Amino acid sequence: MSPHQIVQMIFDVYNKVGHRQYGESVTELEHALQTATFAMQSNSSDAVVVASLLHDYGHLQHDEGEDVASHGVDMRHEDLGVIKLKTFFGPEILEPIRLHVGAKRYLCHKSKAYIDGLSPASRLSLEIQGGPMSDGEGAEFESNPYYKSAVELRRFDDMGKVSGMKTPTLESFYSLVLSFVVK
């Protein structure tokens, strides 16, 4: 598959099933676009912008319906997304995606104020995903060279739940995503 075909395949998935509700007031596609937009507006690295766009790709890979966390199910979407994307991207994209759920648990371990700021859906998924990290888990998380990128992505992930927010189109990210496809 050529790099162009890879990006088109990924975008086709978003266009086909991105209309699913995210468990917030936005769809999966709206959430992806908002998360990437917040990363761009914050002058994050291009890798963080792409990881932000693709961070919930794993949610689009199952047939369990919409908002499965509300039913007490952890689909381990972060791992599923990495499995689906691992032959196409390097660690600067894959590791923040893989770690973004852990980043929520990490931030909850570090800050009570962070927990208090979570939406009800994020609080529910936090419990399903294991709750705040322990001291040992936090230290292990910090040992990953991509943990800061994952925390950055996580903060944009938390922000990307704005009903009616205007964002660039998915297609406007095409060239940027293409630039990170492993050749």
Residue 48 to residue 16: CA distance in whole angstroms:
24
Encode 149-175: b = buried (16+ Cβ within 10 Å), e = exposed.
bbbbbbbbbbbbbbeeeebeebeebee
Please indicate, yes or no, if residue 175 is contained in any of the structural domains: no
Encode 83-108: b = buried (16+ Cβ within 10 Å), e = exposed.
ebbeebbeebbbbbbbbbbbbbbbbb
Please indicate, yes or no, if residue 179 is contained in any of the structural domains: no
Residue 124 to residue 14: CA distance in whole angstroms:
25
The number of angstroms, rounded, from the C-alpha of 164 to the middle of its chain's C-alpha atoms is 20
pLDDT at residue 136, as a whole number: 98
Q: What are phi and psi of 15, to 5 degrees?
A: -70, -30
Please indicate, yes or no, if residue 27 is contained in any of the structural domains: yes
Q: Which amino acid is at 144?
A: N
pLDDT at residue 21, as a whole number: 80
Domain that holds residue 11: 3-165
Of 84, 82, 116, which is closest to residue 99 (Cα–Cα)?
A: 82
Please indicate, yes or no, if residue 119 is contained in any of the structural domains: yes
Q: Which two tokens stand for residue 63?
A: 């047939």
pLDDT at residue 66, as a whole number: 47
Q: What are phi and psi of 27, to 5 degrees?
A: -85, 170
As for how many domains the chain has, the answer is 1
Residue 88 to residue 180: CA distance in whole angstroms:
8
Please indicate, yes or no, if residue 77 is contained in any of the structural domains: yes
Please indicate, yes or no, if residue 174 is contained in any of the structural domains: no
User: Which parts of the chain have pLDDT scores under 50?
Assistant: 66-69, 71-74
Strand partners, 155: none
C-alpha dihedral sign at 19, 25, 28, 32: positive
Please indicate, yes or no, if residue 181 is contained in any of the structural domains: no
* Segment 1-50, tens digit of pLDDT: 999 999 999 999 999 999 988 667 899 999 999 999 999 999 999 999 99
Q: pTM of whole model > 0.75?
A: yes
CATH code, domain carrying 140 = 1.10.3210.10
pLDDT at residue 13, as a whole number: 94
Please indicate, yes or no, if residue 128 is contained in any of the structural domains: yes
